[in-house]
Structure 1
Amino acid sequence: MINIINSESIKYKRTFIRRLTLLAPLFFIIMALLQKFFIPADYLRPWQLLLDQVYNWWPVIFVPMGIALLATLVALQEKKAGNYLNLEIHNISPSILWTGKIVLMAYHALLATLVLIAAIIVSGLITAGGQIPWIKILSGGFTIWLTSLAVIPLQLWIATWKGTFFSMAMGFIGLIVGVIAAPKSYWMYIPWSWPTRLMVPIIGVHPNGIPLKASDPLRDPSVVPIGIALAIAALIIFTIITAVWFNRREVR
């Protein structure tokens, strides 16, 4: 497995996949710089407003569309590299190769999360005042990463099976459905809603971007361990199911 992951990692060097990992989180630094030009020189907004903005936009927009685009690029890169010809040349198990791709996508998502955390800190130093809320920044970033992992095998499956259009369409539908489901009682049945739903008690902001009162029932912290457990279980289940599908496809 380690050799496969290393081989896949080499394959993606000097591709847009690496650039996507770095560029998407930097959007918030650009936003901070633009805001700095238009706000009074002596005005510093609270860190909470920055976190409300970043941790609302990131799980709502960047996570579903970013993973959809990442899966699309991985599928296209594989076609350019020979459309899984290496399975025949090196006698590699299709299931192991598929799992390796999911692991590598999760790794790139982790890199994007680390860059996002750094971008939040830099953005805050530019536009915010007061002490850096390390706990909220770190817990928010890594919770979004963990709860978004379950979507990776689904997006890779649709990108491999149906191609770019359907992968991006699935990501867009996931974006819409995730936002709608996040404040509802059925949020736990929609994987795209998990990162957004868990940000409510961690950051204290509604999926629509409006700050919530401390007494709001949506801020119940008990959903956090439930969401993380669901995401990990779903990641394992979806990986196994899609790996079986990929194995049967390649064996044929």
Structure 2
Amino acid sequence: MLNAIRSEHLKYKRSFAQKMVFAGPCFFALYGIVIQFYIPENAVMPWDLLLGMIFNWWPLLFVPTGTALLAALSENREKKAGGYRVLRAHPIGAHRLWIGRIAVIAYYTFLSTVVLIFAALIAGIVAADGPAPFWKIVRAGLLIWLVATALIPVHLFAAARFGALATVALGLAGLFVGVLAAPEPYWLAVPWSWPLRLMCPVIGVHPNGVHLQPGDPLLSASVIPAGIAVSLLFFAATAALTAVWFAQREVR
């Protein structure tokens, strides 16, 4: 398994995917700083406003589309390398190759999350007022990463089975479906809604970007354990099922 992960990791060196992992978080943090210029003179942006923007736009835009792009780029690299023929010539189980791909994408999305956390802190020091809510930022970033990891096997399967454009289209569709489903009672049935829904009690922002008023049902933290549990079960199930499918697929 470690050999499969190392082999997959080497493919990301000096790639566009690696650049995207670092550039994406910096863009969202920079957006928060730019907003400061539109605030009335002598007014200072509160941390809640800054974090509401960053941690609403991040799961809304980057999580579905970024995961889809990483899956699409991963599949394109494999096709250029011979469509797994070279890798399957070595004594490594096909299911391990697949799990290795999932693990490496999860690693890069985690790395991107770490960059986002530090970028949000820097943006707040520059643009926001008051002490930095460090643990709130860390909690929000890691929670988004944890539940969004469940999307990786789905997008990898879409890329391998239907092509890179299909998984990008799925990511775009997930963007719209996720924001619509997040405030609804059936949000648990839509994986793309999980990061957005869990940010409601953590950051206090509605999935549509509006700050929630005290007493709003969306502020209930009871959704966090449910979201984590469902995402982990979904991830385990989809990773296992897609690994079985990949292992049985005939190499063309």
TM norm structure 1: 0.96
- Structure 1 residue 36: deviation in Å? 4.7
- Structure 1 residue 43: deviation in Å? 3.2
Query: Structure 2 stretches of 5 or more lacking a match?
Result: none
Distance 1:128 1:76, change over 3 A: same
Q: Distance in 1 between matches of 2:88 and 2:198?
A: 43
- Structure 1 residue 88: deviation in Å? 3.2
Per the alignment, in what secondary structure is the counterpart of residue 207 of structure 1?
Answer: coil
1:205–1:212 contact (8 Å) kept in structure 2: yes
- Structure 1 residue 41: deviation in Å? 6.5
Deviations 1:85-133 (A, max 9, x none): 2233213211110001001110000001001001101111111010101
Residue type at the aligned position of 1:46: P
The residue that corresponds to 2:8 in the other structure is 8
Query: Structure 1 stretches of 5 or more lacking a match?
Result: none
Distance 1:202 1:38, change over 3 A: closer
Q: Distance in 1 between matches of 2:215 and 2:49?
A: 19
Deviations 1:166-211 (A, max 9, x none): 1111001111111111000000011111000000011111101111
Residue 78 (structure 2) pairs with residue 78 (structure 1): yes
Q: Distance in 1 between matches of 2:62 and 2:81?
A: 27
Which runs of at least 4 in structure 1 moved beyond 6 Å after TM superposition?
none
2:32–2:54 contact (8 Å) kept in structure 1: no
The residue that corresponds to 1:29 in the other structure is 29
- Structure 1 residue 245: deviation in Å? 0.8
Q: Distance in 2 between matches of 1:202 and 1:89?
A: 48
Distance 1:132 1:33, change over 3 A: closer
Q: Distance in 2 between matches of 1:44 and 1:74?
A: 43
Deviations 1:225-252 (A, max 9, x none): 1101111111100000111111110478
The residue that corresponds to 2:51 in the other structure is 51
Distance 1:34 1:201, change over 3 A: closer
Q: Distance in 1 between matches of 2:181 and 2:50?
A: 24
1:36–1:126 contact (8 Å) kept in structure 2: no
The percentage of counterpart residues that share the same residue type is: 47
Q: Distance in 1 between matches of 2:32 and 2:55?
A: 15
Distance 1:29 1:204, change over 3 A: closer
Distance 1:16 1:222, change over 3 A: same
Residue type at the aligned position of 2:47: W
Q: Distance in 2 between matches of 1:95 and 1:89?
A: 14
Greater displacement, 183-192 / 78-87: 78-87
Greater displacement, 32-41 / 192-201: 32-41
Greater displacement, 40-49 / 171-180: 40-49
The residue that corresponds to 2:169 in the other structure is 169
Instruction: Tell me how many residue pairs correspond in the alignment.
Output: 252
- Structure 1 residue 39: deviation in Å? 4.7
Residue 204 (structure 2) pairs with residue 204 (structure 1): yes
1:86–1:92 contact (8 Å) kept in structure 2: no
